[in-house]
């Protein structure tokens, strides 16, 4: 335990020689587990388990909780990031290049790179030092991946995609798919509907012609892309993802989108083409962003919000269409009161009607 506390830069009390073999929730912790009791609500749970050591909230009386030792971090939840990294057993990928992997002779493979079974590395691709390419991954022609990348199984990196250092891709991520860009010889019914706000959609039937994607994707350092997420290539210029940005599972990024630094995009977020998103933006689950809008720095969008217009920096938004969060919550409250209001109106109408009859 003393070694763990030292590595974390956290204070500890009690028996520093306790051996820790894993992490556990307090109620199910065994004697060699480090129980994660990060706030006071876990005190009763500790009594249900058999932990001898725990991570505790500031000011906790570790001895009265029956523990032999305790670690007191300044921010218990942040400690989770460090602890889980140190105790992560990984996926068991083997080191080196598997005999079934196909690596083009023109590809540049850095030192200490691992390439798993049935993976393909195409011509001119570059893999940075220490990278791990999981089973059945595909790295396209002339794609570049920086050092210490970690690609889980069945990840696709298309041709000419450029990715920085410490990149992580979860299973099934697809980066560099073609953008969803199609055009008709004459004005389409979609264009007519947008121009007239739906009053005129009567146009002749036409076939759609593909606009090819020439721009690929550029991704910065320390970016993570979740399972089955898709990032489309740009049409002329690259789609861009800034340093430190994290994408959850099932996120879709359309063509020509530019996303800034340290953004957090939760599950099922969909961003249409040519959107520009600032730095430190958080989009909750199932948020949708309409094409060609701007979302400013430090914006927070609540789950299932639909962003249809520009959002200024620093604003929290919610709803469909997304508007200031406090305004939307007030609207929700008013909507819940609407049935009672209608009953009151009906009662007043009835009372007035009786009064008119009696007169």
Alpha carbon distance 51, 66 (integer Å): 9
Residue 41 phi, psi (nearest 5):
-65, -15
Cβ atoms of residues 237 and 258 within 8 Å? no
- Name 246's bridge partners: 224, 264
Residue 354: in which H helix or E strand, if any? helix 325-358
Q: How many CA atoms within 13 Å lie on the side-chain side of 16?
A: 11
Could you write out the DSSP letters of every residue in 236-299? Answer: SSPEEE-TT-EE-TT-EE-TT-EE-TT-EE-TT-EE-TT-EE-SS-EE-TT-EE-TT-EE-TT-
Provide the Cα torsion 234, 240, 246, 250; round to 10°.
-10
- Whether omega before 321 lies within 30 degrees of 0, making that bond cis, reads yes
Q: How many CA atoms within 13 Å lie on the side-chain side of 37?
A: 33
Among candidates 174, 172, 250, 255, which has minimal Cα distance to 210? 255
The single residue of 99, 212, 252, 255 carrying the catalytic annotation is 255
Cβ atoms of residues 83 and 21 within 8 Å? no
Alpha carbon distance 164, 279 (integer Å): 18
Alpha carbon distance 150, 141 (integer Å): 19
Could you tell me the strand order of the sheet in which 258-259 lies? 108-109, 126-127, 144-145, 162-163, 217-219, 239-241, 258-259, 276-277, 294-295
Catalytic-residue membership of 212? no
Alpha carbon distance 224, 258 (integer Å): 16
Cβ atoms of residues 293 and 218 within 8 Å? no
Residues marked active site are found at: 255
């Amino acid at each position: 335990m003393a070694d763990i506390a030292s590595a974390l830069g956290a204070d500890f009390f009690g028996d520093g020689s306790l051996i820790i073999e894993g992490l556990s929730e307090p109620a199910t912790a065994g004697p060699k587990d480090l129980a994660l009791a990060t706030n006071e609500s876990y005190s009763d749970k500790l009594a249900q388990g058999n932990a001898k050591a725990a991570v505790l909230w500031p000011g906790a009386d570790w001895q009265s909780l029956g523990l032999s030792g305790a670690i007191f971090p300044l921010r218990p939840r942040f400690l989770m990031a460090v602890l889980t990294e140190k105790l992560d057993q990984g996926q068991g990928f083997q080191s080196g290049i598997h005999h079934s992997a196909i690596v083009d002779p023109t590809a540049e493979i850095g030192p200490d790179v691992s390439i798993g079974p049935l993976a393909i590395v195409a011509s001119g691709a570059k893999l940075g030092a220490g990278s791990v390419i999981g089973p059945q991954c595909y790295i396209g022609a002339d794609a570049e991946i920086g050092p210490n990348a970690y690609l889980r199984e069945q990840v696709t990196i298309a041709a000419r995609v450029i990715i920085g250092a410490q990149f992580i891709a979860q299973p099934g991520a697809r980066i560099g798919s073609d953008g969803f860009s199609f055009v008709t010889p004459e004005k389409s019914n979609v264009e007519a509907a947008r121009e007239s706000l739906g009053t005129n959609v009567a146009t002749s039937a036409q076939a759609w012609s593909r606009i090819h994607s020439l721009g690929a994707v550029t991704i910065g350092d320390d970016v993570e892309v979740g399972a089955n997420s898709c990032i489309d290539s740009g049409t002329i210029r690259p789609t861009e993802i800034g340093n430190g940005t994290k994408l959850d599972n099932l996120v879709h990024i359309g063509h020509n989108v530019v996303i800034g630094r340290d953004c957090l995009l939760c599950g099922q977020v969909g961003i249409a083409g040519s959107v520009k998103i600032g730095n430190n933006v958080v989009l909750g689950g199932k948020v949708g962003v309409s094409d060609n809008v701007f979302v400013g720095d430090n914006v927070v969008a609540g789950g299932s919000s639909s962003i249809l217009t520009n959002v200024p920096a620093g604003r929290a938004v919610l709803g469909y269409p997304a508007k200031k969060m406090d305004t939307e919550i007030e609207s929700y409250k008013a909507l819940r009161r609407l049935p009672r209001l209608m009953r009151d109106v009906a009662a007043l109408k009835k009372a007035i009607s009786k009064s008119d009859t009696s007169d």
